[in-house]
Amino acid sequence: MSQTVVLEQNAVETQSITLKFDGCSSDANPSPIVNPENQSITIKFDDQASNHHTIPVSIPNVDSETEAAVNEFLRKHGSSDEESVRTDAMNDLWSFIERQEIGTVVVLVKFASDVKNFELLEIFCQRVADVIAKKTVEEVREIFNIANDFTPEEEQAIRDEHRWAFED
């Protein structure tokens, strides 16, 4: 069971902290996650059982279809120790992610890191890497909205330094 304790800092003058308990307590060791945007500190109580996610997680900044796909993975992956079931879950999630926009995957990377789910993190990081690997320099700049900040001379020098990579 994964419970969340949310500490919220209210009025600046008093700087007091309110504890909200979001469920029953557990005595596993919590680790806080700081969110500077809404000035909250979240402590998730994770015990062994929580790794077999039966409770759907909520993922900020993604659409409901994506959230559902990730939760389906967590449910299926956590439901069995059998290699084949877990591989199926990974393949399903992988197929889904391949159809998503890169922006969504970047959000998912951050999410997986925040909740410390290493399987998810690997899948999402691998996907971003795969997207990058297939692209030319110009295409990378376009898809990630990157302004080329090299001067023409600098760019030439750096391309020259990396000529070995372009020759393949």
Partner 1 sequence: MFGCRSLLKQIRKRKRRNPPKFNSKNRKQTPNLAEQDFATEDGFRLKGSSPSQNYGVQPLGNLYFTSSPHNSRNTGLGNIQTLTDELVLDILGFLGGTHLGILSTVSKSFYVFCNHEPLWRNLVLEDCDDGFLFKGSWKSTFVAACNSDFDVSKVGSLGFKVKDFYSDYLFQSWLCANLEMKHEWLERDNIIRRKGISVDEFVTDFEMPNKAVLLEGCLDNWPAMKKWDRDYLVKVCGDARFAVGPIEMKLNDFFIYTDQAQEERPLYLFDPKFANKVRKLGQDYEVPVYFNEDLFSVLGNERPDYRWIIIGPAGSGSSFHIDPNSTSAWNAVVKGSKKWVLFPPDVAPPGVYPSADGAKKPVECVCKAGEVIFVPNGWWHLVINLEDSIAITQNFVSRRNLLNVLDFLKKPNASTLVSGTRDRVNLHDKFKKAIEVSFPGTIDELTKKAEKKRAELEKPSFWDSVKDSNSGGFKFSF
Residue 152 in tokens? 């023409």
Cβ within 8 Å of residue 104, ≥6 positions away: 62, 63, 66
Q: Report which of 51, 116, 108 is spatially closest to residue 77, judged by C-alpha positions.
A: 51
In whole angstroms, the minimum distance from the beta carbon of 118 to partner 1 comes to 5
How many CB atoms lie under 10 A from the CB of residue 151?
Answer: 9
In whole angstroms, the minimum distance from the beta carbon of 153 to partner 1 comes to 11
In whole angstroms, the minimum distance from the beta carbon of 11 to partner 1 comes to 26
Q: Quick check: 168 binds partner 1 (CB under 8 A)?
A: yes
Cα–Cα distance measured from residue 80 to residue 86, given in angstroms and rounded to the nearest whole number: 7
Cα–Cα distance measured from residue 165 to residue 114, given in angstroms and rounded to the nearest whole number: 34
Going by their DSSP bridges, the two strands 3-9 and 31-35 should be labelled as unpaired
Q: Quick check: 82 binds partner 1 (CB under 8 A)?
A: no
In the region spanning residues 140 to 159, those forming contacts with partner 1, defined by CB under 8 A, are: 140-141, 144-150, 154-155, 157-159
Does residue 96 contact residue 69 with C-beta atoms inside 8 Å? yes
Site track for partner 1 across 105-134, x = CB under 8 A: -x--xx--x--x-xx-xx--xx-xxx-xx-
Q: Quick check: 63 binds partner 1 (CB under 8 A)?
A: no
- Enumerate binding residues for partner 1 (CB under 8 A): 29, 102-103, 106, 109-110, 113, 116, 118-119, 121-122, 125-126, 128-130, 132-133, 136-137, 140-141, 144-150, 154-155, 157-168
